[in-house]
Structure formats: C-alpha cells, structure tokens
A = this chain, B = another copy of it.
C-alpha cells in the first residue's frame, strides 16, 4: 500500500487555508497520496470545550498577526474574512459532491473556495456563493444547487464529521499518516520528516 496523508480541515479555518496551499506539493515530494477531508470543526469545539479562536481574548488578536506573517512566509495572499468564523457547511457539501466522482476536481474547488474566503475575504458561507464559484470552474449551476440539498451528500459530511470526533480531532488543519496525528499548518515539516524517515 502506498503512503497516504489524510488532511482534515474546516473551510472556515485560516490555518487550514495555509495548509491547503502546501499539502499537495508535500505529498508529491514524498510520493504520498493526499486525501482531503473537510469536516465541521464546530462539532469538535462542542466535544472538547475548546472555544473558537476569535472568542479567546489576546490569542485572537495575536492570530491576526501570526496569520499575516505565516502567509507571507509561504508567499500566499491572505486576508482576514469578515464575518469570521463563517458557516462552512455549503462549501464542504460541494466538496463531497465532486469528490464522489473526481477527487482532483473536488480539490480544485476546495482551493477556489479557500482562495475566495482567505485570499479575497469573499463570502463562501452562503449557499448562493458556493455554486457561483463552482460555475466559474465549469460545473453546472443546477447540479451544484441540487447537491447542496442532497440527503446523501448531507449524510456524507455528517459521517466525516463523526469520524473526526472518533479520531479525536480537536482543531484544523489536522493530519494523519497511518495512526500518527499532526495538528496545525506549522506541523507540516514534522509530518514530512515522519514520511521521510518512516517515523524513526
């Protein structure tokens, strides 16, 4: 079996946005397949009692500076979306709709959604905005619209969010290589070293 990275993230997670810019290149360098798994981080916050970043005094202000620096470090545009956090349900459903038949197209959509949210502070929270972005990538507007209300797609996102809870995912982005958990954009070098050395 080939090497495999599982990449769990919430579309409203700014550090998830940064990780999404780098994870495929990392996978390519290490000959590892990357499986993208958007989920709803709110469920983890509820399970652990961890508050959303913006609700933590001092840490929230710090994060704004840190994100600007971290994005500049890797050379990607970054703006803080308003409002933040935003509802990421529609974005995640659209992802799983495409992922069923074409994971490359799903990743392309994910990057476009992330670029809109954190590259331009655009709205991807509302059901109307997500099809707009999908249409820009050549997808059919009615098909996307229908997918966002499809009971099977809804169930798929719930299933992945349940898996995230079972696997004790408490933040975003969150990665697994085999059973090894890595939390945070800043752990990509650790993850890469793990793949390189086989964990030794």
Contact = CB atoms under 8 A, between A and B. Distances in A.
Interface of A: 44, 47-51, 56-59, 61-62, 65-66, 69-70, 73, 168-171, 180-184, 186-187, 190, 193-194
Q: Taking the full assembly, how many copies of this chain does it contain?
A: 2
A186 B186 contact: yes
A180 B73 contact: no
Contacts of A57: 47-49, 168, 170
Nearest to A55: B49
A67 to B, nearest CB: 11
11 contacts: A47-B57, A47-B58, A48-B56, A49-B57, A57-B168, A57-B170, A59-B171, A62-B168, A66-B182, A66-B187, A186-B187
Contact of A59 (B65, B170, B186): B170
Contacts of A190: 66, 69-70, 73
Nearest to A70: B190
A66 B186 CA distance: 12
A166 to B, nearest CB: 11
Given A49-B51, A50-B56, A57-B168, 16 more contacts: A47-B57, A48-B56, A48-B59, A49-B56, A49-B57, A56-B170, A59-B170, A59-B171, A61-B168, A62-B181, A65-B180, A65-B181, A66-B182, A69-B190, A70-B190, A186-B187
Instruction: Please list the 4 inter-chain residue pairs (A to B) with the smallest Cβ-Cβ separation, ordered nearest first.
Output: A58-B168, A58-B170, A186-B186, A59-B170
A20 to B, nearest CB: 19
Nearest to A61: B168
A58 B66 contact: no
